[in-house]
Amino acid sequence: MGSGSLLGVRALITGASGFVGRHLVPRLRDEGYEVEATDRELDVTDVSALSARMAAVRPEVIVHLAAQSSVPSSWKSPELTYRINYLGSRSILEATATAAPEARLLVIGSSDEYGSAEPGASPFTEASPLRPQSPYARTKTAADLLAARYADRGLDVVRVRPFNHTGPGQAPDFVLASFAKQVAEIEGHLREPVLRVGNLGSVRDFLDIGDVIDAYLSLLHRGVPADVYNVASGVGTPVGEHLHTLLDLAGLHPSIEVDPERMRPADFSVGDATRLRRATGWKPQAPIAGTLERTLDYWREQIRAIQSSPKASRP
């Protein structure tokens, strides 16, 4: 969904070293953007530092990815989650209003803002009530609502609520990456043939990371109305089905054990991306089975690297 008309557009990315950032930054450069990629060296809660960087870069588009994005970690460190997710977003909004008021700003929220629906319920739309259920979700919701206030004041803010996305390079804190890593470890004889899981009955709307990047790129176009957009497939699948796809790919039949630390009540979260499709033409292209295969291959490569390292060969 690129466009030659965006050649040379200056882009500032926060959280560029994270999972999404590592996929987004090269795509932007391939599209012809001039990218300033920032991560922990730039304190996203420091308005002065952000304003100074924006004044130097003069970005025309900003994508705010910096976040504490793990729900379990948010329960363990709610203060840190609040600082990064809410105060960081507040600082980005204020710095943009001050130092780059003409820039288009994408504030990346989360489908977790909606909470969980009843099984079989209609997919969440952007008009669905926000019912966040974790410190992570509450901080993302607060940032989303604050961004809406800045939009009301005239800032060119696009709020994005992506549903679950996965792919190569995602940390094993996330469910499908965790499954893929464990499967690769079992294949590589780095762990017993026992796979530890949470609630396999939860129904989620999963996307390939490449499709999510396509959605973000489409929303950088100035012709797209500054609004709030779901990024979703509209298809819900029990997490356990994806696990069995990975096991089939590997030809494994390990024991499956519930890990109490991973166990959560079953939830149901499926999104409706009609607004995004109408505004941009976006729709997901990558079958999730292929995504799972690439993710498994990524973890296989990590395991091979561990096994071939000098330390691994020492007695």
pLDDT in tens, 264-314: 888 999 999 999 999 999 999 999 999 999 999 999 999 999 888 776 544
Q: Which residues pair with 61 in a beta bridge?
A: 11, 104
Give the other-Cβ count within 10 Å of 143's Cβ.
27
The owner of tokens 């499956």 is 256
The overall average pLDDT reported for the chain is 95
- Unique residue bearing structure tokens 């599209």: 31
pLDDT 10s digits, 122-157: 999 999 999 999 999 999 999 999 999 999 999 999
User: What is the model's pLDDT at position 265?
Assistant: 84
The Cα-based distances of 42 to 59, 80, 183, 187, 203 in angstroms read 15, 16, 36, 40, 37
Residues in the chain: 315
Q: How confident is the model at residue 2 (pLDDT cuts 50, 70, 90)?
A: very low
Q: Which two tokens stand for residue 62?
A: 């900003």
pLDDT level of residue 261 (50, 70, 90 thresholds): confident
pLDDT of residue 5: 53
Dump pLDDT digits (tens) for 229-252: 999 999 999 999 999 999 999 999
In this prediction, residue 247 carries a pLDDT of 98
Q: Looking at residue 54, what DSSP letter applies? A: H
Residue 203 and residue 267 in contact, taking contact as beta carbons nearer than 8 Å? yes
pLDDT surpassing 50 at residue 315: no
Find how far residue 85's CA is from the centre of its chain: 13
Mean pLDDT of 62-90: 97
Nearest 10 degrees: CA dihedral of 121, 206, 137, 14? -150
Judge contact between 69 and 133, C-beta under 8 A.
no
pTM: 0.94
Residue 91 or residue 266, greater confidence: 91
Q: Which domains does the chain have, with CATH numbers?
A: 4-309 (3.40.50.720)
Percent of all residues in the chain with a pLDDT value above 90, rounded to a whole number: 92
